[in-house]
Structure 1
């Protein structure tokens, strides 16, 4: 059990994310620089509180604190917060950021409902490869969630698109970049996981259900990196693939960990 006071950091982060989302709602009618900067500042503060919590928990337990459902939901939301800041600072994603903040808050609420428990690390996981594998995995997941959020914004009909929503062309580019970056991080996750498995158990790949579905996720997004060059999959088709792919990610992360027997259980 972590220090109960540290949970206040997560509650504060959730409150700041909610405030940022409310400010984003005020921006739906059009661009107002002061409000946009305020929303960005609130999101940055929320991410800073999450980072402080992560550093505190890591220092307390001595390893990357991502070992059960609470900690993975938290880490996923932290990665989403960082992903949002990257795209907002680089592109000013406008109203599309509401979808991203919504996903981030849902993950953080799910973590807080579980309570601040971090499971002990078994000896086979006590290696820098574990840290690399988990970090790359959730950075990939966060970018796939970003692509999902942008795809939902892309598919909104014209009469529901607020003035602050980026153009469809910009949303398409954001989606493609999120997919590409997510695929790179998830590839690094697969590589580090394979090396870790070989060092720990003497094989590079096993046909357990988590490994198989992780490979399916990798194949799916490898195909998406190719699909953006195929005309019939561009535009709405690519957005639909982004949404479908995120549901595959959710099944691989939550469905297998909670519902099925695997070597990556979530408790």
Structure 2
């Protein structure tokens, strides 16, 4: 599979996924990102797009296919969303988190492919992922305070998100640190695993306020 064909394939898949999300948004009058299906749909769309733009090779395409297939095993019926969730803050919180997740997962694949050559610099994409994740943390905390008067709920997702935020900040530092720089590929690959655990492991299994 040529790189140009792979990118076109990812773009077409992103357009199709976005069309589904738009259709479901028009059905409800707002992005239904509260449901497990639409949350996974959004993450899949972001990952399909970003992994197509980055040099993730066949690994990015295979994982994109796995994400798409997994959507068929999640209930797709749209349920009425509480008014407290239908706010711009919550929607921005979810969208920015999914973009950050997609960046980190894509980077973990790129790092895996570059682990032998060690030619790539990851600072700019890591900074972009950190920016979106920071936005998600700040907006999410603001929304939680306004909704429940609780800035930082002590539950699995919030605690692990704090760890992931600190870890992504550490990864940016790794790029300029001679001691840790030689381990950066392994550390970035691990970040992708942490993101997958944060989304699938906590949201679908451990529950809490972020559980489906």
Settle same-fold status: TM greater than 0.5: yes
Tell me if structure 1 keeps the 8 A contact 2:35–2:79.
yes
Structure 1: gaps of 5 or more residues: 1-23, 28-35, 88-92, 158-166
1:223 to 1:47, Cα distance in 2 relative to 1, 3 A: same
Q: 2 CA distance for matches of 1:120 and 1:79?
A: 24
Tell me if structure 1 keeps the 8 A contact 2:112–2:185.
yes
1:1-267 alignment, distance < 5 Å: 24=1, 27=2, 36-87=3-54, 93=55, 96-155=56-115, 168-169=118-119, 172-173=120-121, 175-235=122-182, 237-266=183-212
**1:185-208 per-position Cα deviation (integer Å, ceiling 9, x unaligned):** 000000110110111112322222
SS in 2 for 1:120: coil
Tell me if structure 2 keeps the 8 A contact 1:77–1:105.
no
Q: 1 CA distance for matches of 2:15 and 2:99?
A: 17
Structure 2: gaps of 5 or more residues: none
Q: 1 CA distance for matches of 2:6 and 2:203?
A: 34
Tell me if structure 2 keeps the 8 A contact 1:67–1:119.
no
SS in 2 for 1:50: helix
User: How many residues are treated as equivalent by the alignment?
Assistant: 212
1:176 to 1:98, Cα distance in 2 relative to 1, 3 A: farther
Q: CA RMSD in A?
A: 1.8
- Rg comparison, structure with higher value: 1
Q: TM-score, normalised by structure 2?
A: 0.91
1:39 to 1:227, Cα distance in 2 relative to 1, 3 A: closer
